[in-house]
Amino acid sequence: MLTSVPAFKRLPRAVRERQMLDSAARVFSRRGYHAASMDEIAEDAGVSKPMVYAYLGTKEELFLACLRREATRLTEVVAGAVEPGAPADRQLWHGVRAFFDVVATNREGWTVLYRQARGLEPFAAELSGMRARMVQVVTALLSAAMTGSGGEATDTELEVMAHALVGAGESLADWMTDHPDADPAKTATQMMNVAWLGADRLLTGATWHPGVTEAG
Partner DNA sequence: GCGTAACGTTACGCCCGGGTAGGTATGCTG
Partner DNA sequence: CAGCATACCTACCCGGGCGTAACGTTACGC
Report in angstroms how near the CB of residue 73 gets to DNA at its nearest.
24
Q: Which amino acid is at 211?
A: G
Selection from 56, 59, 52, 35 nearest residue 122 by Cα = 59
- Terminal-residue alpha carbon distance, the chain: 55
Q: Which amino acid is at 37?
A: S
Q: Which amino acid is at 83?
A: E
Of 33-41, 107-115, 144-152, 155-163, the segment contacting DNA by CB under 7 A is 33-41
Selection from 112, 124, 126 nearest residue 31 by Cα = 112
Binding partner of residue 105 among a copy of itself, DNA, none, CB under 5 to 8 Å per kind?
none
Where on the chain is the footprint of a copy of itself (CB under 8 A)?
31-32, 34-35, 88-89, 92, 112, 115-116, 118-121, 142, 145-146, 149-153, 157, 160-161, 163-172, 174-175, 187, 190-191, 193-205
Binding partner of residue 203 among a copy of itself, DNA, none, CB under 5 to 8 Å per kind?
a copy of itself
Tell which one of 60, 76, 157, 214 touches DNA (CB under 7 A).
60
Report in angstroms how near the CB of residue 126 gets to DNA at its nearest.
17
Q: Is 10 in the site for DNA (CB under 7 A)?
A: yes
3-state SS, residue 18: helix
Tell which one of 49, 69, 107, 115 touches DNA (CB under 7 A).
49
Q: Is 161 in the site for DNA (CB under 7 A)?
A: no
CB atoms within 10 A of CB 103: 23
For 148-171, b/e burial (b = at least 16 CB within 10 A) is eeeeeeeeeebbebbbebbeebbe
Report in angstroms how near the CB of residue 163 gets to DNA at its nearest.
33
- DSSP-derived secondary structure for 41-102: HHHHTTS-HHHHHHHH-SHHHHHHHHHHHHHHHHHHHHHHH--TTS-HHHHHHHHHHHHHHH
Q: Is 122 in the site for DNA (CB under 7 A)?
A: no
Report in angstroms how near the CB of residue 114 gets to a copy of itself at its nearest.
9
Binding partner of residue 32 among a copy of itself, DNA, none, CB under 5 to 8 Å per kind?
a copy of itself
Q: Binding residues for DNA, per CB under 7 A?
A: 3, 6, 9-13, 16, 35-39, 46-51, 53-54, 58-60
